[in-house]
Structure 1
């Protein structure tokens, strides 16, 4: 059966990675507003406190990894000693590209590998909304190895570098999300896949988006009544079942149209529409332009 998480990560097209080694000492705090960026951090030594978008703070220790798929505002600060309220440090970028935070004459107590990347999908906002706001993985060696591979590849000038990086980033994101020991608890796909009643319907509709699904069909896949299924899906995934199906079909349609390898009739059939005209009408209403114009990139 289909793997919804792998499909969504692949469609996001992660790219343009940037990473830096950060060393810190004493009391310090760094704030950032990286709207639309994917933020990740591997703590190599010491302890830090992470505050993301006003959510409860998370403390990271050596070997911990955190991933934030859609960072808006966040702060990273020292734990011992604690930075005073309102205090902010000014990072110093050294000639070798490493970053120093805190007093220059104090011994280094924290080392972290910080990275950013972006998503190339035109539907990135929708797809990211299906992922948790934050994922924390404690002491997972595989993630440490992946982060180092991404950093090494990003800094090198090898043939096919961008292709290798995209695949490495896909693996990194999937591994972080499926290994997470702590998420924000927000509704989304990951919570749906972890739900013993909803994982079946989600995998089924991803495996056959061309099927004429109804809410009753999906409720039967879940072994629930229609009303119980509707309520549970809304609460766990964050949207109504048929809204999720429609959004996923349109996301697939955009991907197929942009590839330039499929005609409108074929895209309509592969996304569950009985005719090209019905698909064109639904696509135009949803996207704001006809599928032919979208395919041309007008």
Structure 2
């Protein structure tokens, strides 16, 4: 059985950028703007408050894990908020990948590991759009262990370091995403998979992406009426069923084209299009380049 979540994460090709251990002494506040980089952190001791653009602040406590697949505006502060208008000095490097933030004469009352990774897929933006805006998991020790392994591996120069890191990050991302089942995860693939009815339809799309799916057929897979399925899917996943299917087919097509896995007509059939011309029109409208041009550009980038 194909696992939609594993497929998306594998296509993303995660790689480690850096991971650090932060010691916080209240009160402190730090904000940053990232160009869509994936950000994660785990609270080892104490707590903090994190604000993500467009959402109410979230309180993170010891054992909590936070993943933002595409971070832009993020602000993190101590649970004891700094006085209005006050400025926090930049984190002080302690060496060995550790930093201290907050007044130098205040006791440390929070510790966290935080890091950024990157997605190697040229199609990362499309794939990330299938994921929740953020993931907040409470009390999962496995995630803290995985983050610690990522941090240790990223600091060492051992053989096969990049291979080990990429596999660890794949496991970390899948573990974080699947741990949100039954939580208040923002709309996306994870929330859809936590609904057993919708999960059946999602697995069908991934297992048989070449099938000429209709909303009625997908509703039947989910054992729901057409109208109920459409509304429930759109609310949970964040996009309509056929829009999700289109995004997934385009992600598969771009991956196949980059890897030169067949002629245009063959790839068209593998992703659910009856002819090369129909596929070319849909691909060009969605991507902005024809399939043949996209394939040539991909080959030129590798040469």
If the TM-score is normalised by the length of the shorter chain, which range does it land in? over 0.9
Alignment of 1:194-233 (within 5 A): 194-233=194-233
Q: Is the 8 A contact 2:15 2:169 kept in 1?
A: yes
| Contact map agreement 2:21 2:111 (CA 8 A) in 1 | yes
Q: Partner residue of 2:124?
A: 124
8 Å Cα contact 2:45/2:61 also seen in 1 = yes
1:85 corresponds to: 84
Task: Confirm or deny: 8 A CA contact 1:9 1:173 kept in the other structure.
Answer: yes
**CA RMSD, 1 decimal:** 1.9
Matched, 1:51 2:51: yes
Query: Cα distance, 1:102 vs. partner?
Result: 1.0
Distance apart, 1:282 and its partner CA: 2.1
Question: Are positions 1:14 and 2:43 aligned together?
Answer: no
Q: How does 1:88-167 map to 2 (within 5 A)?
A: 88-90=87-89, 91-167=91-167
Mean Cα deviation higher: 256-265 or 170-179: 256-265
**Cα contact 1:133–1:184 (8 A) shared by 2:** no
1:255 aligns with 2:246: no
Q: Matched residues in 2 for 1:242 and 1:54: separation? A: 27
Equivalent residue for 2:178? Answer: 178
Of 281-290 and 107-116, the range deviating more from structure 2 = 281-290
* Residue deviations 1:82-140 (CA, integer Å, cap 9, x gap): 32234331222234432111122322211111111121222222222222222122222
Which residue in 2 is equivalent to 1:282?
Answer: 282
Post-superposition offset of 1:275: 2.3
Partner Cα distance (1:42, 1:185) in 2 = 17
CA shift, 1:179, in A, is 1.3
Measured in 2, the distance between the counterparts of 1:133 and 1:89 equals 28
Q: Please, what TM-score do these two structures have when normalized by structure 1?
A: 0.93
Whether contact under 8 Å (1:135, 1:183) holds in the other structure is: no
Higher mean C-alpha deviation, range 275-284 or range 216-225? 275-284
Note the residue ranges of structure 2 that are not aligned, 5 or more in a row: none
The runs of 5 or more residues in structure 1 that have no matched partner are: none
**Could you state the TM-score of these two structures normalised by the residue count of structure 2?**
0.91
Instruction: Report the Cα distance in structure 1 between the residues aligned to 2:131 and 2:148, rounded to whole angstroms.
Output: 24
Q: How many residues matched?
A: 297
Contact preservation (8 Å) 1:135, 1:182: no
Structure 2: distance between partners of 1:192 and 1:264: 31
| Deviation at residue 181 of structure 1 after TM alignment | 7.2
Flag the 1:96–1:190 CA change in 2: closer, same or farther, 3 A. closer
Q: Which runs of 4+ in 1 moved over 6 A?
A: none
Post-superposition Cα deviations, 1:216-266, rounded to whole Å, max 9, x if no partner, equal 211111222222222222222122211211111111000011112332222
